[in-house]
Chains A and B, each alone.
Chain A
Amino acid sequence: MASDTDYDSDGMRGNGDGGLSEGNGRRRKHPFMTWRNNLRALVVDNARTCRIMESGLLDAYGVEVEAVGTGEAAVELIASGETFDLIVLEMFLPFMSGPETARTIREMGISCKILGIAPMYCEKDAQEFLAAGIDEFLEKPFTPELFIPFLMEIDNQK
């Protein structure tokens, strides 16, 4: 169900909007939480306002964030050697869908936590996305209540 109207789906890394940080290397001075380990997350969402908010929230909670707008860009980033502790992956990406992206990432041997996100929860979508290799399927908004437990789990396991 990828939308034909692609909002900022060029997938370019670091395509901040009007100076807004989408992560991409910039860290908040005083995060709301600190972790024993350095945690890195990749946000993959073609909807730019969602991408910016998701990145902003993770950054605020002490996570180093990279954000891209397409599945292709995510795969390219990982193929280039970038490693992440967490991937936040929108289901309805244009071109390479969320499930296709998840499948490709898993086939590359990446075993980190992947959280699939979508505008609405749907059992059929959840089954499809989980079968493709994500660990959890979450309905937006991507809130601290949702992601903090996963960050704690990841931090404890590192």
Chain B
Amino acid sequence: MEVGQLQRRLVDYTKSLLTEGILDDQFTQLQKLQDEGNPGFLVEVVSLFFEDSEKLLNDITRALDQQSVDFKMVDAHVHQLKGSSSSMGAQKLKNACVTFRSFCDEQSMEGCLKSLQLVKQEYYDVKNKVETLFKMEKQIVAAGGSVPKTE
């Protein structure tokens, strides 16, 4: 595939992620921070986000698995995940965290378990899609092109 086609495919893919609400404008703001002086900024910070998020998801899973669930602790973890998701522009994941927190407030075990499933789903979805996006960027660079900015 020639560079122009690869670039158009990337632009369309990014637009679809924004339209579907998987990513929001915060992500496009972060994309702009990547330049010649900091070419790997977004890839690196997103990797850290994935690393931290998986740790939080494991912590939440473990906390909900306890005999006596500490809903305040679960809430604290979800709260932190909400903050980092919104900072990264992972909109659907952020929204899933908001719903999760309401079940923590109600101390609803059933609600929390269902929410955890949804949060994990949204997390893996955004992870897969952002990784696909980065692969597409790599292909463009490998083909000698430059990564187009999302408008």
Q: Please judge, given known A-B contacts A48-B48, A49-B88, A143-B26, whether A2 and B83 are in contact too, CB under 8 Å.
A: no
**Cross-chain contact B84 with A50 (CB below 8 angstroms):** yes
**Cross-chain contact A60 with B32 (CB below 8 angstroms):** yes
A120, B78: Cα distance in complex, Å:
11
Q: Please judge, given known A-B contacts A5-B56, A47-B83, A48-B52, whether A141 and B77 are in contact too, CB under 8 Å.
A: no
**Cross-chain contact A17 with B48 (CB below 8 angstroms):** yes
**Cross-chain contact A140 with B41 (CB below 8 angstroms):** no
Q: For A1, A28, A49, A118, which residue has the most chain B Cβ atoms within 10 angstroms? A: A49
Q: B17 contacts which chain A residues (CB < 8 A)?
A: none
- How extensive is the interface on chain B, given as a class? 35 or more
Q: A158 contacts which chain B residues (CB < 8 A)?
A: none
Q: Which residues of B are at the interface with A, using a C-beta cutoff of 8 A?
A: 25-26, 29-30, 32-33, 35, 37-38, 40-41, 44-45, 47-49, 52, 55-56, 59, 72-73, 75-77, 79-80, 82-84, 86-89, 98, 101
**Cross-chain contact B44 with A49 (CB below 8 angstroms):** no
**Cross-chain contact A141 with B52 (CB below 8 angstroms):** no
- How extensive is the interface on chain A, given as a class? 35 or more
Q: B73 contacts which chain A residues (CB < 8 A)?
A: 4
* Among candidates A29, A52, A140, residue contacting B83 with C-beta atoms closer than 8 Å: A140
Write 8 A-B pairs (CB below 8 A) sorted by A numbering: A1-B76, A1-B79, A5-B56, A18-B47, A19-B44, A57-B30, A141-B87, A142-B87
**Cross-chain contact B56 with A119 (CB below 8 angstroms):** no
**Cross-chain contact A119 with B79 (CB below 8 angstroms):** yes
* Among candidates B30, B37, B41, B80, residue contacting A3 with C-beta atoms closer than 8 Å: B80
